[in-house]
């Protein structure tokens, strides 16, 4: 496990790369959290357009992000209509968000 | 994943997938969102059956040529997600599907997300029931068509 500063740097990097890959213009919100004990990362994506085709494009992009960070992290994701649809993570958990 | 012994033959995996598919259809008809969980686990058993039968796992050289991150033990992988343990990164079923069967990777991962949404979160708010059905049918058609790396 890395120290918390390093983990925060990593989760910010994952979040910014995910944001650029998905495109801010396509998002209603994005949140990335990272559990440093397991180096597992969860990406919550709120798309502006939740059509089938748009969801598939987003998941394709998320799989590319997953591959970039493959050696460092295990990644999971959820698709939501709004970030408020999920419980907010505890403030102590390293996280990145874009709304 | 449960620590109880899991099935390790392709035939038994397909038997479980067929049973889950029937349950999923019944729940779908009843408008019960747990159909998404059943369809996901039907897909899970189908891809595990494909791993077990896939000849790519008969040869270390062929497997390494496909992707250097795969190991022979992944043929019988059970857990959904991989793990990072120090410098070691082990794979999960999600990873193996992406590396070996990229044509169904998106559908499989959306099915997993739908199942997680039903079991642990707010349910099927974002992924539509028809999408879940389409994603499962894509995995089923790929398996029935002879899913191989």
CATH number where A10 lies: 3.30.300.20
- Residue A13 in any domain: the answer is yes
**What is the number of domains present in chain A?**
1
Candidates B105, B113, B122; nearest CB to A85: B122
Of B109, B125, B127, Cβ closest to residue A85: B125
| Residue A69 belongs to some domain of the structure | yes
**A–B: how many Cβ contacts below 8 A?**
61
The rounded distance, in Å, linking the Cα atoms of B89 and B92 is: 10
Kindly identify which residue of chain A lies nearest to residue B131, measuring between CA atoms: A52
Distance CA A97, CA A69 (A): 18
Element (H, E) at A67: helix A52-68
Provide the shortest C-alpha distance from residue A38 to chain B (in Å).
7
| Residue A24, domain member (yes or no) | yes
Q: What is the pLDDT of residue B47?
A: 98
- How confident is the model at residue A86, as a pLDDT? 82
Q: Which residues of B touch A42 (CB under 8 A)?
A: none
Domain count, chain B: 1
Domain for residue A98, yes or no? no
Question: Is there a contact between B10 and B53 (Cβ–Cβ < 8 Å)?
Answer: yes
> Which residues, including other chains, have CB under 8 Å from residue B96's CB and lie 6 or more apart?
B47, B51, B70, B74, B77
In a domain, A88, yes or no: no
| Residue A16 forms contact with B (CB below 8 Å) | no
Whether residue A72 lies inside any domain: the answer is yes
pLDDT of residue B5: 73
pLDDT given at position B2:
60
Q: For chain A, which ranges sit under pLDDT 70?
A: 1-2
B52 within some domain: yes
User: Is B3 part of any domain?
Assistant: no
Please indicate if any CB of chain A lies within 8 Å of the CB of B84: yes
Residue-number span of the structural domain to which A46 is assigned: 4-82
What pLDDT shows up at residue B1? 54
A71 contacts B89? CB cut-off 8 A: yes
Q: What sign for the dihedral angle of Cα B30, B38, B106, A73?
A: positive
What was the pLDDT predicted at B87?
85
Residue B7 confidence (pLDDT): 87
The domain in which residue B27 lies consists of 10-144
pLDDT along chain B (149 residues), means of 10: 77 97 98 98 98 97 97 97 92 98 98 97 94 98 97
- What's the pLDDT at A1? 54
Quote the pLDDT of residue B6: 81
Residue B2 lies in a domain: no
Q: Is the pTM of this model over 0.90?
A: yes
């Amino acid at each position: 496990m890395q120290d918390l500063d390093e983990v925060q740097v990593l989760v910010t990097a994952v979040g910014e790369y995910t944001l650029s890959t998905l495109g801010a213009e396509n998002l209603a919100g994005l949140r990335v959290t990272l559990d440093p004990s397991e180096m597992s990362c969860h990406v919550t994506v709120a798309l502006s357009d939740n059509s089938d085709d748009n969801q598939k494009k987003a998941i394709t992009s998320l799989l590319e992000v997953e591959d970039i960070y493959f050696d460092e992290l295990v990644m999971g994701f959820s698709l939501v209509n709004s970030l408020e649809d999920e419980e907010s993570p505890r403030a102590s958990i390293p996280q990145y968000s874009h709304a | 994943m449960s620590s109880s012994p899991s099935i390790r033959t392709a035939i038994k995996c397909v038997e479980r997938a067929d049973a889950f598919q029937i349950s999923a259809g019944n729940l779908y008809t009843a408008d019960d969102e747990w159909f998404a969980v059943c369809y996901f686990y039907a897909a899970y058993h189908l891809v595990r059956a494909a791993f077990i039968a896939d000849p790519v796992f008969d040869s270390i050289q062929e497997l390494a040529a496909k992707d250097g991150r795969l190991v022979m033990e992944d043929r019988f992988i059970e857990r959904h997600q991989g793990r990072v343990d120090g410098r070691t990164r082990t794979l999960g079923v999600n990873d193996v599907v992406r590396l070996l069967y990229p044509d169904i990777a998106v559908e499989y991962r959306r099915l997993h997300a739908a199942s997680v949404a039903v079991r642990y979160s707010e349910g099927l708010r974002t992924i539509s029931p028809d999408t879940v059905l389409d994603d499962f049918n894509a995995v089923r058609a790929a398996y029935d068509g002879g899913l191989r790396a």
